[in-house]
């Protein structure tokens, strides 16, 4: 080894050590704050940890959720990482990362999608269009729709009986959906309904472990990647002047009178290729490619005949409408991909739509425009034994859902909205009444919500990532980075002056052995919720609200703003800014823990900078410990003021 | 004539009442089960609109007494937390007459049922259950261990001391926590040294519960043990020992704390200062000057000032 190479190695080593030392020194403000406050209270950040065996662990627990339950403070790093994953025009990267997070505890390997063998990969279709690139693309799509998707679904459900397969689209669906009539049920009807759902869950547990969701999700992600790659080339061709569209759509010159068009590529049953004009599509489709115009889609889907659905629209202000459940970027026992590249679009959906993965993979990718999304249940980034994604890369968007919507993760599922630009509005709730608790509030269970079936099946991961804009979030009961039963719900909002409004179980709230977190990196934000919110963990759960910058206003009534309940952990951290904290009931908020099972919970309230105003237990420049088991807070100046700005 | 009519009416009422009473006592188990099931649906209802019917239904089931106990124990396999709490509530109301069936249920195979029976026995707090609870205190399932130790503490019978001390070494934090809480409830000095050790426990539930449990003990024996704990290598143990000393706050405790102000260990000096401020915010003992001479660090001073203000105005818990 030469002297030069030894010198180089030493240099690299010293640089690595120096970088490592710098990393060690650079502890985040929130971490420093946690160390300081826990020390004051006789605690340590490591105390924030939960066991895996409060109940017999089930076989559906996601290893990511299990790991985060052991170290709930790692939720902060987890959502920070996810926030940085998305690359414009490549939603498949985010999908792949989330697929990794769908590994179940103890799962040593993940199944691949079905790989077509020999002739399957190039089934003989007669060419209809003259454009070679188009034909190549359509041929590849045909392989996915004819071979990869159905075979991957078979791989997913192979061990199930016909009756069990039927169960998935009937009784299991009933567990998720709600009925407006329930509000008027008698006590006996309620009991009967509750027992029926318990029975369904018990029946499902018997065979659910046989379901392998991996092949179909992977098939969907692979297909999405290919679509985005190939359509880039096709869209480029279409930009080549006025005649480009005409050339693109040019078909083979002569067709005999008795020709069966279904044997031609692009003209198969359930396929449609639309030109630059305004087109209308109506029915249950497998594949639509539309290159322009303001189009109308009236779509339906029959879950008894599951199949892949790919819809690609290059431009125009389009209107997508559901005539049944399981449409518009909905993978029901298969893959559903909806890609819209341009225009101000309107999506009017029913349930299980708009980026819904229900025993499958569903994505709605809208690359530009001011869009409006409306749906009912299990919509707008919702996953159950699957992955559901709604990625919107531009514009001022409106999201409207009723239940289990806007980043919802159910059993072995993950649902996410990733909105990268624009001031957006998120509304979830207002339809199904919360008959258990109130006569004038509605369940939302949405906006970064993870949910499991207590106590038999662990839940999934639900989240919203919003990178820009002054956003407005509204939920009622359960929402905005909250969770129930061995699951994770999160919102990570990077920038903008945002408004978070909810009523209960919200804004970083974990309930019953689960995890909820809301992080907001910058902007002057407003948080309002009545209770069990703003950093609240109930029943061996953790809830974290972390706001890093801006002059923020927090208002709540009770059991909020760093409240631990029933051996849970609630944390509120505000790193900087001139903030205002308002609480109605100071006896159980702002650094509070209540006793259950003869011992306490943990509530940690941390403000690390700025001149702040309090109504409640907090005080500016102060450490406090509330008369509770166990909680407290501190308001200090951790980050030195920047002298150059004075 | 009037007397005859009166006698006839009275006789009829008596006969009717006796017939009804006989019918009630002769109810077959199936009928009883059905009746319990139907009332239980109401008793365990969570819906807002039926809330005023819940308490009368619970009362009605409790009035059935011992004969309602076996069917209620069978319901302990429920997956609903609301139903589980309702059962415990009813059994607690039935009280000691429920004991024979509950004790029998401790030998059932389902750990979840045993855990819930232990919970109920603790709530009933009848010392007749002590030996049976001791019998499950080393159960394979940690939640059964936790709830049996918890129940023994609630009953407060000194026969439980050995089992409680044994549980301080359990591998599961929740069981150690239950032992600490029970030790605080048992009127025994034997547990003091163990409780002081638990101030350094790795599980916060055990550690912080030990602070409270120690405050129920006789300070004469406690102070020496706490003084010793201040030499512990565990920062948290020493910190919490100082917290207990601050809460005791008598002259001897204050002397021990003031010694720590000059211990040469920065963390201990700050912790001692906080404990002194909490115990004596008005500076009756005259330690404040030495505290402020000693401590200059900005955040440490803020903690100390906060502790003094908190103890002074009574708004907060003294640290």
- Please tell me the distance from the alpha carbon of residue A1 to that of residue A252, in angstroms, as a whole number: 67
What number is the average pLDDT over the span A154-158?
A: 97
**B interface test, pick of A54, A202, A599 with most B CB neighbours within 10 Å:** A599
Among A476-480, B3-7, B109-113, the minimum mean pLDDT is found in B3-7
Instruction: List chain A residues with CB under 8 Å of B307.
Output: 623
| pTM attached to this predicted model | 0.92
Answer for the pair A492, A466: CB distance below 8 angstroms, yes or no: yes
Are A42 and B50 an interchain contact pair (Cβ–Cβ within 8 Å)? Answer: no
pLDDT bin (cut points 50, 70, 90) of residue A123 is low
Which of A43, A187, A622 is the closest to B45 by Cβ? A187
What number is the average pLDDT over the span A57-79?
A: 97
Instruction: Using the predicted structure, report yes or no on whether residue A468 has a pLDDT greater than 50.
Output: yes
More confident residue, B14 or B31: B31
Rg of chain B (C-alpha set): 28
Are B49 and A191 an interchain contact pair (Cβ–Cβ within 8 Å)? Answer: no
- Please tell me the distance from the alpha carbon of residue A59 to that of residue A553, in angstroms, as a whole number: 42
Answer for the pair B184, B209: CB distance below 8 angstroms, yes or no: yes
What sign does the dihedral B261-B238-A568-A515 (CA atoms) show?
A: positive
Instruction: List chain A residues with CB under 8 Å of B49.
Output: 435, 439
Express each pLDDT in A126-150 by its tens digit: 899 999 999 999 999 999 999 999 9
Instruction: Using the predicted structure, report yes or no on whether residue A16 has a pLDDT greater than 90.
Output: no
- Please tell me the distance from the alpha carbon of residue B113 to that of residue B205, in angstroms, as a whole number: 24
Residue A122: per-residue pLDDT? 67
A446: tokens are 């949405």
pLDDT bin (cut points 50, 70, 90) of residue A5 is low
> Residue A57 CA to chain centroid, in angstroms?
24
Are A622 and B309 an interchain contact pair (Cβ–Cβ within 8 Å)? Answer: yes
A520: tokens are 């907001």
- Please tell me the distance from the alpha carbon of residue A354 to that of residue A38, in angstroms, as a whole number: 43
Instruction: Using the predicted structure, report yes or no on whether residue B53 has a pLDDT greater than 80.
Output: yes
Express each pLDDT in A520-545 by its tens digit: 999 999 999 999 999 999 999 999 99
Task: Identify the CA nearest to B242 among candidates B209, B263, B271, B206.
Answer: B271
Are B47 and A436 an interchain contact pair (Cβ–Cβ within 8 Å)? Answer: yes
Residue A347: per-residue pLDDT? 98
User: Coil, strand or helix: which one is A149?
Assistant: helix
pLDDT bin (cut points 50, 70, 90) of residue A166 is very high
What number is the average pLDDT over the span B92-120?
A: 97
Residue A24: per-residue pLDDT? 47
Q: What percent of chain A has pLDDT over 70?
A: 94
What number is the average pLDDT over the span B121-133?
A: 98
User: Coil, strand or helix: which one is A107?
Assistant: coil
- Please tell me the distance from the alpha carbon of residue A632 to that of residue B310, in angstroms, as a whole number: 12
Are B46 and A36 an interchain contact pair (Cβ–Cβ within 8 Å)? Answer: no
Instruction: Using the predicted structure, report yes or no on whether residue A597 has a pLDDT greater than 50.
Output: yes
Are B45 and A190 an interchain contact pair (Cβ–Cβ within 8 Å)? Answer: yes
More confident residue, A5 or A501: A501
Are B47 and A435 an interchain contact pair (Cβ–Cβ within 8 Å)? Answer: yes
Are A630 and B208 an interchain contact pair (Cβ–Cβ within 8 Å)? Answer: yes
3-state helix, strand, coil in chain A (%, to 5): 30, 30, 40
In sequence order, the β-bridge partners of residue A298 are A282, A321
Residue A265: Cβ within 10 Å count? 22
Are B79 and A456 an interchain contact pair (Cβ–Cβ within 8 Å)? Answer: yes
Instruction: Using the predicted structure, report yes or no on whether residue A500 has a pLDDT greater than 60.
Output: yes
Residue A646: per-residue pLDDT? 45
Place of tokens 């309702």: B86
Residue A4: per-residue pLDDT? 53
Task: Identify the CA nearest to A505 among candidates A573, A582, A576, A428.
Answer: A428
Express each pLDDT in A271-298 by its tens digit: 999 999 999 999 999 999 999 999 999 9
A311: tokens are 């819809």
DSSP A148: I
Express each pLDDT in B203-213 by its tens digit: 999 999 999 99
Q: What are the two backbone dihedrals, phi and then psi, of residue B115, each rounded to the nearest 5 degrees?
A: -55, -45
More confident residue, A259 or A67: A67
Instruction: List chain A residues with CB under 8 Å of B208.
Output: 42-43, 599-600, 629-630
Which run of H or of E encompasses A308? none
Residue A51: Cβ within 10 Å count? 14
Instruction: List chain A residues with CB under 8 Å of B146.
Output: 597
Residue B79: per-residue pLDDT? 87
DSSP A569: E
Are A598 and B178 an interchain contact pair (Cβ–Cβ within 8 Å)? Answer: yes
Instruction: Using the predicted structure, report yes or no on whether residue B15 has a pLDDT greater than 60.
Output: no
- Please tell me the distance from the alpha carbon of residue A192 to that of residue B12, in angstroms, as a whole number: 41
A47 interfaces chain B, CB cutoff of 8 Å: yes
Are A623 and B302 an interchain contact pair (Cβ–Cβ within 8 Å)? Answer: yes
CB within 8 Å of B34: residues ≥ 6 apart: none
More confident residue, A466 or A181: A466
What number is the average pLDDT over the span A553-564?
A: 98
Q: What percent of chain A has pLDDT over 90?
A: 87
What number is the average pLDDT over the span A593-619?
A: 96
Residue A1: per-residue pLDDT? 46
CA distances from A508 to A450, A478, A504, B56 (A): 12, 10, 11, 38
Instruction: Using the predicted structure, report yes or no on whether residue B256 has a pLDDT greater than 50.
Output: yes
Rg of chain A (C-alpha set): 26
What number is the average pLDDT over the span B156-174?
A: 98
Q: What would the 3-class secondary structure string for A580-637 be?
A: EEEECCHHHCCCEECCECCECCEEEEEECCCCCEEECCCCCCEEEECCCCCEEEEECC
A628 interfaces chain B, CB cutoff of 8 Å: yes
Instruction: Using the predicted structure, report yes or no on whether residue A441 has a pLDDT greater than 90.
Output: yes
- For chain B, the average pLDDT equals 91
Answer for the pair A321, A298: CB distance below 8 angstroms, yes or no: yes
A69: tokens are 């339950």
More confident residue, A167 or A121: A167
More confident residue, A298 or B5: A298
Residue A592: per-residue pLDDT? 98
A368-427 residues touching B, CB cutoff 8 A = none
CB within 8 Å of A458: residues ≥ 6 apart: A57, A58, A60, A61, A62, A65, A411, A452, A485, A486, A487
Express each pLDDT in A359-380 by its tens digit: 999 999 999 999 999 999 999 9
Express each pLDDT in B226-252 by its tens digit: 999 999 887 899 999 999 999 999 999
Which of A47, A435, A632 is the closest to B204 by Cβ? A47
Which of B174, B236, B302 is the closest to A42 by Cβ? B236
A187: tokens are 């006590």
**B interface test, pick of A597, A603, A626, A629 with most B CB neighbours within 10 Å:** A597
Instruction: List chain A residues with CB under 8 Å of B301.
Output: none
B67: tokens are 């004969």
Task: State the Cα angle at A277 between A273 and A283, rounded to 5°.
Answer: 50
Place of tokens 């450490």: A623
- Please tell me the distance from the alpha carbon of residue A324 to that of residue A342, in angstroms, as a whole number: 25
The question of ipTM being above 0.90 is answered as no
Instruction: Using the predicted structure, report yes or no on whether residue B45 has a pLDDT greater than 60.
Output: yes
- Please tell me the distance from the alpha carbon of residue A344 to that of residue A372, in angstroms, as a whole number: 8
Which of A436, A437, A598 is the closest to B181 by Cβ? A598
Answer for the pair B261, B273: CB distance below 8 angstroms, yes or no: yes
- For chain A, the average pLDDT equals 94
What number is the average pLDDT over the span A7-19?
A: 50
Among A261-275, A290-304, A480-494, B157-171, the minimum mean pLDDT is found in A261-275
What number is the average pLDDT over the span B67-82?
A: 94
Backbone torsion region of residue A406, taken as left when φ is above 0, otherwise alpha when ψ lies between -120 and 50, otherwise beta: left
- Please tell me the distance from the alpha carbon of residue A81 to that of residue A64, in angstroms, as a whole number: 14
Residue B316: per-residue pLDDT? 73
Nearest chain A Cα distance for residue B236, angstroms: 6
pLDDT bin (cut points 50, 70, 90) of residue A125 is confident
A187 interfaces chain B, CB cutoff of 8 Å: yes
A536-538/A504-506 β-pairing: unpaired
Are A598 and B42 an interchain contact pair (Cβ–Cβ within 8 Å)? Answer: no
Q: How many H helices and E strands in chain A?
A: 12, 43
- Please tell me the distance from the alpha carbon of residue A321 to that of residue A349, in angstroms, as a whole number: 6
Instruction: List chain A residues with CB under 8 Å of B177.
Output: 598-599
Task: Identify the CA nearest to A580 among candidates A614, A624, A621.
Answer: A614
- Please tell me the distance from the alpha carbon of residue A445 to that of residue A618, in angstroms, as a whole number: 30
Answer for the pair A52, A66: CB distance below 8 angstroms, yes or no: yes
Express each pLDDT in A20-45 by its tens digit: 444 445 799 999 999 999 999 999 99
């Amino acid at each position: 080894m030469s002297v030069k190479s030894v010198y180089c190695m030493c240099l690299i080593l010293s640089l690595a050590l120096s970088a490592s030392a710098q990393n060690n020194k650079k502890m985040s403000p929130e971490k420093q704050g946690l160390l300081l406050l826990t020390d004051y209270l006789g605690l340590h950040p490591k105390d924030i940890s939960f066991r895996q065996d409060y109940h017999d662990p089930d076989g559906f627990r996601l290893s990511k959720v299990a790991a985060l339950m052991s170290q709930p403070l790692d939720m902060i790093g987890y959502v920070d990482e996810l926030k940085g994953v998305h690359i414009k025009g490549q939603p498949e990267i985010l999908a792949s990362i989330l697929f990794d997070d769908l590994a179940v505890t103890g799962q040593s390997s993940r199944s691949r999608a079905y790989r077509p063998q020999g002739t399957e990969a190039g089934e003989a279709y007669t060419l209809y269009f003259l454009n070679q690139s188009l034909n190549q693309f359509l041929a590849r799509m045909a392989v996915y729709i004819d071979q990869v998707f159905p075979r991957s679904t078979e791989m997913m459900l192979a061990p199930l009986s016909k009756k069990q397969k039927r169960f998935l689209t009937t009784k299991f669906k009933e567990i998720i959906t709600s009925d407006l009539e329930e509000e008027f049920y008698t006590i006996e009807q309620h009991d009967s309904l509750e027992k029926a759902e318990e029975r369904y869950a018990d029946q499902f547990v018997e065979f659910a472990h046989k379901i392998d969701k991996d092949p179909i999700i992977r098939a969907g992600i692979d297909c999405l990647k290919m679509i985005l790659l190939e359509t880039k080339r096709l869209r480029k061709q279409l930009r080549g002047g006025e005649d480009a569209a005409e050339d693109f759509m040019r078909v083979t010159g002569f067709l005999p009178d008795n020709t069966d068009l279904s044997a031609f590529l692009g003209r198969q049953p359930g396929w449609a290729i639309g030109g630059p004009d305004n087109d209308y599509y109506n029915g249950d489709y497998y594949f639509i490619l539309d290159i322009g115009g303001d189009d109308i889609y009236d779509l339906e889907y029959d879950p008894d005949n599951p199949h892949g659905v790919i819809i690609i629209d290059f431009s125009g202000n389009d209107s997508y409408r559901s005539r049944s459940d399981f449409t518009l970027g909905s993978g029901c026992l298969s893959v559903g991909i909806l890609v819209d590249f341009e225009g101000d679009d309107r999506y009017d959906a029913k349930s299980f739509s708009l980026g819904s993965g229900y025993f499958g993979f569903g994505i709605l990718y809208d690359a530009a425009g001011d869009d409006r999304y409306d749906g009912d249940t299990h919509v707008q980034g919702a996953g159950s034994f699957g992955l559901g994604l709604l990625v919107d890369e531009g514009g001022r968007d409106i999201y409207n859902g009723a239940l289990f919507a806007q980043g919802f993760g159910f059993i072995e599922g993950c649902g996410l909205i990733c909105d990268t630009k624009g001031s957006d509005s998120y509304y979830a709730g207002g339809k199904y009444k919360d008959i258990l608790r109130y006569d004038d509030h509605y369940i939302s269970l949405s906006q970064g919500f993870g949910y499991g079936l207590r106590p038999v099946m662990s839940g999934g991961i639900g989240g919203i990532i919003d990178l820009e804009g002054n956003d407005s979030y509204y939920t009622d009961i359960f929402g905005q980075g909250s969770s129930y039963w061995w699951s994770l719900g999160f919102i990570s909002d990077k920038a903008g002056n945002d408004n978070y409004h909810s009523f209960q179980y919200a804004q970083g709230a974990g309930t019953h052995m689960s995890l909820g977190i809301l992080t907001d990196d910058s902007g002057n934000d407003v948080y309002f919720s009545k209770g069990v919110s703003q950093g609240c963990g109930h029943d061996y759960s953790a809830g974290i609200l972390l706001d890093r910058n801006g002059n923020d206003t927090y208002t709540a009534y009770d059991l909020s703003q760093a409240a631990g309940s029933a051996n849970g952990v609630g944390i509120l951290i505000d790193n900087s800014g001139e903030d205002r904290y308002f609480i109605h009931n100071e006896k159980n908020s702002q650094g509070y823990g209540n006793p259950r099972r003869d011992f306490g919970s943990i509530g940690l309230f941390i403000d690390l900078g700025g001149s702040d105003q309090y109504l409640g237990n907090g005080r500016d420049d102060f450490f406090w410990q509330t008369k509770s088991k166990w909680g407290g807070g501190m308001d200090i100046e951790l980050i030195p003021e920047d002298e150059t700005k004075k | 004539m009037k007397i005859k009519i009166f006698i006839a009416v009275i006789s009829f009422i008596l006969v009717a009442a006796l017939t009804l009473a006989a019918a009630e006592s002769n109810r077959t188990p199936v009928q009883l089960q059905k009746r319990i099931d139907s009332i239980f649906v109401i008793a365990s209802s969570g819906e807002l609109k039926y809330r005023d019917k819940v308490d009368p239904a619970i009362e009605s089931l409790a009035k059935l007494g011992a004969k309602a106990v076996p069917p209620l124990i069978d319901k302990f396999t429920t997956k609903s937390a609301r139903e589980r709490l309702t059962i415990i509530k009813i059994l607690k109301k039935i009280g000691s007459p429920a004991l024979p069936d509950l004790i029998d249920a401790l030998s059932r195979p389902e750990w979840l049922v045993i855990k819930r029976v232990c919970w109920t026995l603790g709530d009933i707090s009848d010392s007749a259950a002590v030996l049976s609870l001791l019998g499950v205190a080393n159960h394979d399932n940690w939640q059964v261990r936790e709830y049996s130790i918890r129940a023994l503490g609630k009953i407060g019978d000194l026969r439980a001391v050995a089992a409680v001390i044994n549980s301080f070494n359990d591998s599961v934090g929740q069981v150690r926590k239950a032992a600490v809480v029970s030790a605080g409830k048992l009127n025994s000095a034997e547990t003091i040294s163990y409780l002081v050790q638990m101030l350094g426990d790795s599980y916060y539930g055990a550690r912080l519960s030990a602070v409270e449990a120690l405050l129920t003990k006789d300070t004469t024996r406690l102070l020496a043990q706490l003084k010793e704990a201040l030499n512990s290598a565990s920062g948290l143990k020493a910190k919490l020992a100082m917290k207990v000393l601050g809460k005791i706050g008598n002259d001897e405790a204050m002397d021990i704390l003031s010694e720590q102000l000059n211990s040469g260990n920065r963390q201990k000096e700050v912790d001692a200062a906080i404990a002194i401020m909490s115990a004596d915010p008005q500076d009756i003992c005259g330690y404040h000057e030495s505290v402020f001479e000693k401590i200059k660090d900005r955040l440490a001073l803020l903690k100390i000032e906060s502790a003094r203000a908190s103890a002074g105005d009574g708004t907060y818990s003294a640290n």
